[in-house]
Structures are given as C-alpha cells and as structure tokens.
Amino acid sequence: MVKSTYAQNTLHQLFIDMQCPKGGDVHAFLSSLTKQHNELLAAGVTISNKDFECTVLNGIPGPLAAYASQFLGQARLNGKPLEMRDIIHLLSEEADRIKTHHAPKDQAHAQGKGKASGQPDEALAATSTFEGSDGRHRKGKCHHCGKEGH
C-alpha cells in the first residue's frame, strides 16, 4: 500500500536510524533490516543503496563495521562492488564467528567442550582451601616435603 509523503519520510528516517542493540544478535538485526527494507520498498518508500549501506554500517557494532568497510573498500578498488545481500551475508557469518569465538567458558562447558558445570577441576583441587579455614592451609600434599595441609 502506497504511503503519504509524510509517512514515507518518517518510515525512511526510522529505517536510517535503526541500530543493533548493544550486545544484541547482529545476525538477527541484519535479517530484520533486510526484511524491513523489502517491506518499505513494497510500500513505496525508496531506500537508496547508499542509504541501505549506511544503515547497515551505522547499525552494527564498531568492529563489524570496520570489517565491512574494509571489504567494501577493497571491492571498490578492484572495480567489483558487492551487493548488499552479499555484504549482509559476510557480516552475519563474521558476527556468528565472533560470537562463537568469544562465548563465555560456561557456554563452552554447557555445549560439551570441557567438564560439565559443577564438576571440580582435579588440577585445581589440590590448591583450594579447606572449608572453614582462615585460608592459610591448603588441601593436598606439599610438593616440597609431601606433608598434608600446607
């Protein structure tokens, strides 16, 4: 359905101002952005390729924006400009890679990459303190003399 000029301008500006929430899912944000872009085009709101590119670059976290800018710059220098769908695909993959790479260790344990949560680490057990002690005595044998508790 075609919108009035005022509504078109408002929708255009709302699209331009879209941002991925801090700590949000970049992949979901980019998918949502693409969907909204298509819906706006269907409603008669014109979003230029430059505006779409700016919205993507301004809406994602800094490190991903730098990554995308580098890709775009190299493509332009080579005379092979990339389509926005290709850039979004690359950004989604990179965001997922970063998310997986920087996942907290508890998530890695929950995914089966190490000991299950709640299990003590045997290597650290010898250095943990006795319960109720003042923290000066340790479990396990001394590496020097072989006696317990220090």
* Domain chopping of the chain, boundaries: 5-101
pLDDT of 108: 46
pLDDT given for residue 28 in this prediction: 92
Q: What is the predicted pLDDT for the residue at 141?
A: 79
User: How confident is the prediction along the chain (150 residues), in pLDDT tens digits per residue?
Assistant: 556 889 899 999 999 999 999 889 998 999 999 999 999 999 889 999 899 989 999 999 998 999 888 888 888 888 887 788 888 998 989 888 888 887 665 454 455 555 455 555 555 554 444 445 455 656 777 777 888 777
Res 105: pLDDT: 54
Residue 59: what pLDDT? 94
**pLDDT of res. 138:** 63
CA gap 59, 20 in Å, rounded: 5
Output the CA torsion sign for 64, 67, 71, 72: positive
